[in-house]
Amino acid sequence: MTRNRASAKAAGARFERLIADGLAAALDDDRIDRRVKNGAKDRGDIGGVRIHGQRLVIECKDTSTLRLPEWTREARLEAGNDDALTGVVVHKRRGTTDPMQQWVTCTVADLVALITGQRTEGDR
């Protein structure tokens, strides 16, 4: 079956729900949930995730075509919209529905921010 816009949006919403529920359970934090879309000022797909006491933006992607540069730019922009420490991309790993086995992508600057709790030069 070929994906159309409606089926892609539905798959994306299901993937976001899977990741939000998986993170909330794994981190024992009921504040983690899917976010309402904010149009041009989008703040990521999953809200309520904290690291070093700061917000972490999570952008979810359920697609078989990798667009890592585009996705990491989007996560970084949304982190800025949310005044978050940084943003990461969670993308679908084919062959499993286990939320803890999906892929996470970020830049090395984002990884340094996650480790240190501080934004680095060049990460915005």
| Residues 6+ away with beta carbon under 8 Å from 13 | 34
- Length of the chain, please? 124
34-69 residue pLDDT tens: 998 877 789 999 999 999 999 999 999 999 999 999
Domain borders along the chain are 5-116
The model's confidence at residue 5, banded by pLDDT at 50, 70 and 90, is confident
What are the helix (H) ranges across the chain?
A: 5-27, 68-81, 108-116
pLDDT of 122 over the 60 cut: no
79-114 residue pLDDT tens: 999 999 999 999 999 999 999 999 999 999 999 999
Are 76 and 89 in contact, with CB atoms under 8 Å apart?
A: no
Domain 5-116: top CATH class = alpha beta
22-35 residue pLDDT tens: 999 999 999 999 99
